[in-house]
Amino acid sequence: MRPVDLSKTAQRLLTIAPGAIDVVSARHGETLRYFGLPFARVRRLLGSERLWFGVESVRRRRLDENTENEFTTLLTELLDHRSAAASDHRHAFYRNAAEAWLESLLRRDITQLDPGLIIAPLHAQFRTARGRRARRSSG
């Protein structure tokens, strides 16, 4: 996704940590991931952009003047704990979604794995619904 296609909110958040944050496009907005860990969603609703934030284990909150401090705290914790240099390797932000973290690093520079590899075609993984059984066809 080109930066011009991104929402203004996503573009602004990318400037915080451009080497760590990536954006996955959706029909009505974007999901922002910090080294593969989804932490914010931007949605376009009725001509405006709205942001919800939080990680998997925390209920998502809508960003507004009452939740700005919580959002700032989340960003600070991601910067501190989702890093190879993090001091606490037991922190949830360090441990969660390790495979997605690795994928995010390799998507930025696949030659770290093997100098002969090229980025295209490299497609992002996506999650499927949990707990649903596959339907069997009778036929």
Q: How far apart are CA 86 and CA 94, in angstroms?
A: 8
Q: State if pTM tops 0.85.
A: no
pLDDT in tens, the chain (139 residues): 445 588 999 999 999 998 899 998 877 789 999 999 999 999 988 888 999 999 975 678 899 999 999 999 999 999 999 988 898 989 889 888 888 888 887 777 777 777 777 766 555 555 555 555 544 444 4
For 25, phi and psi rounded to 5 degrees? -75, 145
Torsion over CA: 54, 59, 60, 61 (sign): negative
Query: 121: cis peptide before it, omega within 30°?
Result: yes
Q: How far apart are CA 51 and CA 20, in angstroms?
A: 19
